[in-house]
Amino acid sequence: MIARDSPEPDWARGYYRAQNKLKIKSHAMSETELTHSRVIASARENTGGHVSTLALTTHRVLQWLQSPRPYLMFIGFSLFLGFWYLAVEVWKLPRFAEMPGLTAVVSEWLSKNPTYGLSIFMEEYYLHIWVSTRRIAIAFFLATAIGVPLGLFLGWSRRFKQYVFPVFELLRPVPPLAWVPLAIVMFHGSETPVIFLTFLASFYATALNTMLGVESIDVSYIRAASCLGAKRWQVFRHIIVPGALPFIFTGLQISVGVAWFSLVAGEMVSGQYGLGYVINTSYTMVRYPTIIIGMVTLGIVGYVTSAAIRLLGDYMMQWRTRELALGGDR
Amino acid sequence: MSTQPLYTRAPMPIAGTSTQANREGGVRIIDVVKMYGTQDTGVLAVDHCTFDVPAGEITVVVGPSGCGKTTLLNAIAGFHSLSSGSIYLDNEMLCGPGKLKAEPGPDRIVVFQNGALFPWKTNIENVAFGPIMQGYMTRKEAFEKARGMMADAGLHGIESNFPGEISSGVRRRVEIVRALMTDPKILLLDEPYRALDSLTKSVMHEALLEIFYKNRVTIFFITHDLEEAIFLGHRLVIMTTRPCKPKKILDIDIPHPRDYSVLTTKRFREFMEETAAAVHEEATKAFAAGEKER
């Protein structure tokens, strides 16, 4: 720092002031940014040059617990459940007359001997979850295996897009439910039609997002690669695929969401077992608490699948995860 | 126009550098015209442009934003075709009659305005990219060379970071090292320091000169910053506003190696005075034209 009484000429004082400003500027990293880079630096030391994903994750979980976010989330849940409880069981609002109350649902769900036959202690409950998840997994896998390459080629080759995209765009607005009759006619049994419907919804979201991902890639990257001597297929492998990855994963998140959506629709129409089937049969057989159990279970399982994909995306896009981690504000 | 075409002139000696002067990478631009759109409704971007980029020197093209200088660079790099005219690299035609678009290749590497390090590759993977793609080095050899070159450029310790983790100034340096990895004949720099603040910029200028003194690679540098242009360049080409053609070409005879003390010399100010009016005039025209378009 400058000593106040130093006999400097005016210009020198200005110079020092500028220098100090410079210092301040170069140190103007936010506190979070500093902790992040410290964590990354120490993690890198410990693992010999590579940031371990575990260290970053632990750090982020700790940060999350220190922030107000988990507590706000808790309050949010409490308000929602509290309103449900009050509306049904205390105030007995007219709209909610037929609705099972919070306590009824929870006690049924956690009961060893459930009145309507479905709780966390019944094997059948897990069979339903397993059947639905299995259908989602098959449909999602097929949609990804076909949708990602299709989207990549749609974005990459203008000619291919001119052939395929109009057909794609014409089929895409047709809701999966409209395919139900055709699906039943085309595929035998009860399993394949449901998987087909689930696949359809997923497939459109994946393919479309992948295509947009390719189109979003800055042309400078492609030009730089061709400058450096990359052939066309090398550009595809090293620029197009990784460049589209962020969009692909956005697409997969949407895709798994709509997969659950059309799965339940499919299971309500045809099929035995599955959470959609549980909800539908519980309705016809007037087992109202079981409907809610099915819905809540769908919510939880759906969230888990979506989070799993997000984790996979973080793992496959280390560069992006680290960039965001360094960005501080999240 | 300068009095004589200096396509392959005797290289200017640089005090204190022992490296043999590079005689490669000279570019001759002859009567180049680039028109976007059709003959009647099109926009003329480059208008009968003729000048030389001498081998082993830094040629700086100055002109108002959007004047068409990037179009010229893209034509040399092989991203755009010409409407007419021809461009030669070391007496070999890159593009011209019968072949209006050059092939992009590792002899002419572009450093882009907004940077084009691949964010999904680590810095060292970026630097090693060219030789691996071209297949003349194994991954191991390329990494070894990349590590050495990065260390030479003062970029030690960030090899396994991603570009998103380092500052934009450092990113630019990594990108220049990536360009030099493939031993290009000419570097094409398209306003590479535009997005940097002026303090970082001044550091980058000296770093670029240092790299130039080491490698003596021919540099074609585009900017709209006159001070930067005179500080870096052997040769200054001032462009008119759209359509762009050389308005004034002059050689900056301030001796190399240069450092920042050059900025305060009399000679530097003389060059500023000599060129500022011309650049300002074009900038004013560009501004007025912009107003009219709206």
- Quote the pLDDT of residue A206: 95
B136 touches A at CB < 8 Å: no
Range with the largest mean pLDDT of B116-125, B163-172, B282-291:
B116-125
Per the model's pLDDT, the better-predicted residue between B230 and A217 turns out to be: A217
Instruction: Give the strands of the sheet with B58-62, arranged side by side.
Output: B108-111, B186-190, B218-223, B58-62, B235-239, B246-251
Of B104, B160, B163, the CB nearest to A49: B160
Encoding tokens for residue B133? 């793609």
Task: Tell me what the mean pLDDT of segment B16-31 comes to.
Answer: 68
pLDDT band for position B85 (cuts 50, 70, 90): confident
- Give residues with Cβ within 8 angstroms of B146, minimum separation 6: B124, B127, B128, B159, B177, B181
B120 touches A at CB < 8 Å: yes
Of A224, A320, A323, the CB nearest to B112: A224
A243 touches B at CB < 8 Å: yes
Tell me whether residues B165 and A322 touch, CB distance under 8 A: yes
From the CA of B115, how many Å to the nearest CA of chain A? 8
- E strand or H helix at B202: helix B198-215
Is pLDDT of B54 > 80?
A: yes
Contacts of A22 in chain B (CB under 8 A): 199
- E strand or H helix at B32: strand B27-36
- Give residues with Cβ within 8 angstroms of B44, minimum separation 6: B33, B34, B35, B242, B243
Contacts of B75 in chain A (CB under 8 A): none
Least confident of A139-148, B10-19, B182-191, B251-260: B10-19
Encoding tokens for residue B265? 């010399």
Of A230, A319, A326, the CB nearest to B119: A319
**pLDDT profile of chain A (330 residues), mean per 10:** 42 43 39 50 50 76 88 95 92 86 90 87 93 95 96 93 94 90 87 92 94 94 92 93 94 94 87 89 91 94 94 88 61
pLDDT band for position B288 (cuts 50, 70, 90): confident
Show me where the domains of chain B are located.
Answer: 223-294
Task: Please tell me which residue of chain B has the smallest CA distance to A244.
Answer: B120
Q: What is the pTM assigned to this prediction? A: 0.79
| Pure H helices in B28-137 | 69-77, 123-127, 129-134
Q: State yes or no: ipTM above 0.90.
A: no
Choose which CATH entry (1.10.645.10, 1.10.3720.10, 1.10.630.10, 3.40.50.1370) describes domain A105-326.
1.10.3720.10
Task: Tell me what the mean pLDDT of segment B234-252 comes to.
Answer: 84
Least confident of A36-45, A88-97, B121-130, B199-208: A36-45
Phi, psi for B251 (deg, rounded to 5)? -95, 130
- Quote the pLDDT of residue A26: 38
Tell me whether residues B162 and A317 touch, CB distance under 8 A: no
Contacts of B116 in chain A (CB under 8 A): 218, 220-221, 223-224
- Quote the pLDDT of residue A52: 66
Encoding tokens for residue A263? 């799965």
Task: Please tell me which residue of chain B has the smallest CA distance to A41.
Answer: B161
Contacts of B79 in chain A (CB under 8 A): 223
Per the model's pLDDT, the better-predicted residue between B16 and B125 turns out to be: B125
Residues B32-47: pLDDT tens digits? Answer: 888 887 767 778 888 8
A39 touches B at CB < 8 Å: no
- E strand or H helix at A290: helix A288-316
Residue by residue, DSSP assigns A175-204 as -GGGGHHHHHHHS-TTHHHHHHHHHHHHHH
Amino acid present at B139:
R
pLDDT band for position B63 (cuts 50, 70, 90): confident
- Quote the pLDDT of residue B91: 81
Interface of A with B in 193-222 (CB under 8 A): 218, 220-221
Strands B246-251 and B235-239: antiparallel
- Quote the pLDDT of residue A3: 40
Task: Please tell me which residue of chain B has the smallest CA distance to A246.
Answer: B120
Contacts of A218 in chain B (CB under 8 A): 114, 116
- Quote the pLDDT of residue A276: 92
Per the model's pLDDT, the better-predicted residue between B273 and B127 turns out to be: B127
Three-class SS string for A61-122?
HHHHHHCCHHHHHHHHHHHHHHHHHHHHHHCCCHHHCCCCCHHHHHHHHCCCCCCCCCCCCC
Is pLDDT of B95 > 60?
A: yes
Tell me whether residues B119 and A323 touch, CB distance under 8 A: yes
Computed over every residue of chain B, the mean pLDDT equals: 82
Phi, psi for B248 (deg, rounded to 5)? -155, 130
B106 touches A at CB < 8 Å: yes
B109 touches A at CB < 8 Å: yes
Best of A44, A227, A248, A318 to substitute, by most chain B Cβ atoms within 10 angstroms, is: A227
A60 touches B at CB < 8 Å: no
**Rounded distance, CA B280 to CA B226, Å?**
10
Contacts of A227 in chain B (CB under 8 A): 77, 104-106, 108-110
Of A224, A238, A323, the CB nearest to B110: A224
